[in-house]
């Protein structure tokens, strides 16, 4: 069972005398609209680590050599919740099927220890040629329709690849070229809300590919337009779930911009992030935007209807790492979860901006966190690059002794308010 931490985030509410949450009011979401057919999670009860994966990531899938320095870089549930997609430093993407018994309630959910063997193996491994920059699921992916079971990835010096999530075959590629007619890699990718286009982020530009026309055909839009432009590498892209014509982009130049999807008109630019922006995500009602940065201890909340200032900040331990640490908003839209260097998953109430709880997920940096789209489940990934001391090498390979909760992935089962029996049993189990 995850260890609940009740004070870690509060200890960091102030930094250099600045209050982390300056907003005194409340954000009003229509939660009933987003949660009427979904389970509401009870975060005050510690989650159970139901499935765990670590040992299969200790072998480099490209070379076949045992390597303790192959760490995970992120994890994402598929849109239909049937499987998980992970990315690791050996340029590989693993897909794990969701177990059949993951439907069970909290009190009957399995619980494993991180030192045990892996719960099960991934059913598919896709190897990219170079370091993976970004990856994303097709938004209407469903196992009931094999044609939709695809995901996209972009890697250094490679075009955008569209992979079959069932067979691992390469469906097609989308290629962008520079002024020297050489392939240039996208630094970020995202499908638009309708799933008809892939938006790809480059240095000072956005390229848009029609998914039905693979190859080198694309539309290009410059993000630099005078002094009010949006400069730098586009590092993250997110589409509004309710206002389909709005698109948010983060940049390594420490800024976030909102565009209109129809004509890529720049609406406004948001400043204030300490580090380069590594993730942007809209709230479920589309009225708020959350942004997080590299070597930046705060996730910012912006009201896109009034961008004169930050609504509030959410703390996470990420001051001294260059890793991309992801966060996610649960399906009801009420809570946000994020990892950090402290190995904790922090949960925040988005209506008030207040810290709700934390639990220990790993003993190294938790760089990925993803809520299941319909069940009371979540997935986390952890890992970081490690260096051995001189003389602690054998045949050129770094020998490192890792614990079971390092460089690993886990699936967590939360208590929920789906029904009285489940709720009462969860309370009794936690006591």
What confidence tier does 218 reach under pLDDT thresholds 50, 70, 90?
very high
From the number of C-beta atoms within 10 Å of its C-beta (0-12, 13-18, 19+), residue 411 rates as buried
CATH number of the domain at 332, please.
2.130.10.10
Residue 99, domain extent? 4-430
Mean pLDDT of the chain: 85
Three-state secondary-structure class, residue 88:
strand
pLDDT confidence band for 6 (50 / 70 / 90): very low
Are 21 and 309 in contact, with CB atoms under 8 Å apart?
A: no
**Residue range 360-369: mean pLDDT, rounded:** 95
pLDDT of residue 67: 67
Three-state secondary structure of 294-353: CCCCEEEEEECCCCCCEEEEEECCCCCCCCCCCEEECCCCCEEEECCCCCEEEEEECCCC
Asked if 311 and 299 count as a contact pair (C-beta separation under 8 A), the reply is no
Per the structure, the count of domains in the chain is: 1
The yes-or-no verdict on residue 420 having pLDDT over 90 is: no
- Lowest-pLDDT choice from 2-6, 87-91, 249-253, 408-412: 2-6
Pairing state of beta strands 327-329 and 335-338? antiparallel
Instruction: Give residue 369's pLDDT.
Output: 98
Residue 410 has pLDDT above 80, yes or no: yes
**CA dist., res. 125 & res. 146, Å (int):** 18
In the prediction, which pLDDT does 109 show?
82
Cβ-based neighbour number of residue 293 at 10 Å: 27
Q: Can you give the pLDDT at residue 28?
A: 52
Tell me 33's DSSP state.
H
429 vs 353: which has the higher pLDDT: 353
* Cα 207 to Cα 174: distance, rounded to the nearest angstrom: 10
Q: Minimum mean pLDDT among 180-184, 222-226, 344-348: which range?
A: 222-226
Strands 41-42, 415-416: pairing is: antiparallel
Which stretch of DSSP H or E encloses residue 426?
Answer: helix 420-430
Q: Using CA atoms, how far apart are residues 125 and 276, in angstroms rounded to an integer?
A: 31
Does residue 401 surpass a pLDDT of 70?
yes
pLDDT over 90 (residue 52): yes
Q: Is residue 427's pLDDT more than 70? A: no
What is the pTM for the complete model shown? 0.86
pLDDT digits (tens, 9 = 90+) for 279-319: 999 999 999 999 999 999 999 999 999 988 899 999 999 98
Task: Determine the average pLDDT of the residues in 336-355.
Answer: 96
């Amino acid at each position: 069972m995850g260890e609940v931490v009740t004070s870690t985030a509060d200890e960091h509410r102030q930094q250099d005398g600045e209050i982390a949450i300056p907003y005194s009011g409340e954000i009003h979401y229509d939660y009933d609209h987003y949660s009427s057919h979904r389970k509401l999670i009870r975060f005050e009860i510690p989650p159970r680590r139901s499935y765990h994966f670590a040992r299969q990531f200790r072998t480099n899938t490209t070379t076949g050599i045992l390597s303790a320095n192959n760490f995970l870089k992120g994890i994402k549930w598929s849109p239909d919740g049937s499987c998980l997609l992970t990315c690791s430093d050996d340029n590989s993407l693993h897909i794990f099927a969701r177990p059949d018994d993951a439907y069970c309630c909290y009190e009957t959910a399995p619980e494993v220890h991180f030192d045990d063997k892996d719960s099960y193996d991934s059913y598919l491994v896709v190897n990219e040629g170079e370091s993976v920059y970004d990856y994303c699921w097709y938004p209407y992916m469903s196992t009931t329709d094999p044609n939709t079971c695809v995901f996209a990835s972009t890697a250094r010096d490679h075009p955008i690849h569209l992979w079959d999530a069932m067979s691992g075959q390469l469906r097609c590629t989308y290629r962008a070229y520079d002024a020297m007619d050489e392939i240039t890699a996208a630094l970020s990718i995202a499908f638009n809300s309708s799933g008809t286009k892939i938006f790809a982020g480059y240095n000072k530009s956005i390229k848009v590919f029609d998914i039905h026309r693979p190859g080198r055909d694309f539309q290009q839009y410059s993000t630099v337009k005078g002094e009010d432009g949006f400069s730098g590498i586009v590092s993250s892209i997110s589409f509004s779930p309710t206002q389909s014509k709005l698109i948010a982009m983060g940049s390594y130049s420490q800024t976030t911009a909102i565009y209109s999807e129809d004509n890529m008109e720049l609406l406004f630019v948001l400043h204030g992030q300490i580090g380069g922006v590594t993730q942007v995500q809209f709230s479920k009602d589309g009225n708020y935007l959350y942004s997080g940065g590299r070597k930046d201890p705060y996730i910012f909340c912006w009201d896109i209807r009034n961008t004169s200032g930050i609504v509030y900040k959410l703390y996470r331990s990420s001051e001294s790492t260059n890793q991309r640490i992801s966060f996610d908003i649960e399906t009801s839209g009420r809570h946000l979860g994020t990892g950090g260097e402290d190995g904790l998953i922090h949960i925040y109430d988005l209506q008030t901006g207040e810290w709700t709880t934390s639990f220990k997920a790993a003993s190294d940096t938790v760089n990925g966190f993803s809520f299941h789209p319909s069940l009371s489940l979540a997935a986390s990934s952890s890992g970081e690059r490690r260096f051995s001391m001189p003389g602690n090498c054998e045949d050129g390979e770094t020998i490192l002794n890792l614990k079971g909760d390092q460089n690993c992935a886990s699936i967590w089962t939360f208590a929920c308010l789906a029904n009285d029996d489940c709720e009462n049993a969860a309370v009794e189990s936690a006591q």
